[in-house]
Amino acid sequence: MAALVTGAQQGIGRACALALAAAGHDVAVNWLDDEAAAEAVAAGIRAAGRRALLVRGDVGTAAGCAAIVQAALDGLGRLDVLVNNAGIFPRVPFLDMTEAEWDQVLDVNLKGSAFCAQAAARAMVTAGRPGVILNLASAAVRGAPLGVHYSATKNGVVGLTRSMALALAEHRIRVNAIAPGLTDTAQPRYGNSDAEVRAMGAALPLGRLGRPEDIADLAVFLASDRAEWITGQVYHINGGGYLA
């Protein structure tokens, strides 16, 4: 089995790559701007006894998505699982948001998810094997005052997931979304101190920040045969901070 994880150099993507390797997958590690971090993820995959492939690329264009998927196929020989994790969340007040800022977030978060999924699904259909596509949504589907563009993309990912699940079911390709809440990554620290982030975690019903591994564990389950009758669903994993 082989998986491609986009934006896997850190955070949730890193955790998903390592967890999939531990579950028996060879993993293509897509990265953009930190080769040392990506190499460290690859080393962890190899330590689990699986093959690791580094794939540098930007998901912000359809051509970039196609190239990333093709590199994964060329390097690993097959593709069974895609985790659409790459994303950006630049904070900006809505009244100050520019067209360029809007376009950048939609290109990476929504267009990137759509066209990586399209390229991966085409490869799965051509191979004649079932497959799994997992899209990262967010608790921000409920709204984010400094992330109107971000929230729009994550709501778009939910619609994308449901529609792709219907479109690809005949090919035995399952499509689901994971919507993390406040998770202990670099993202919530943008504009917040470490103490502030931990205080937000302590205020959650379950009393702590999410860990990247919490999300990765769910990804491994959804990628497995144990979830073979699950498609088109959105899983909120947030310590009770948002009850969908």
Active site residues: 150
Distance CA 21, CA 17 (A): 6
Question: Residue 8 phi/psi, 5° resolution?
Answer: -95, 10
Please state the length of the chain.
244
* 203 residue type, one letter: A
Give the number of other CB atoms < 10 A from CB of residue 227. 16
Instruction: Look up residue 88 and give its two tokens.
Output: 């950006």
CA dihedral 195, 196, 197, 199 (to 10 degrees): 90
- 8 in Cβ contact with 38 (< 8 Å): yes
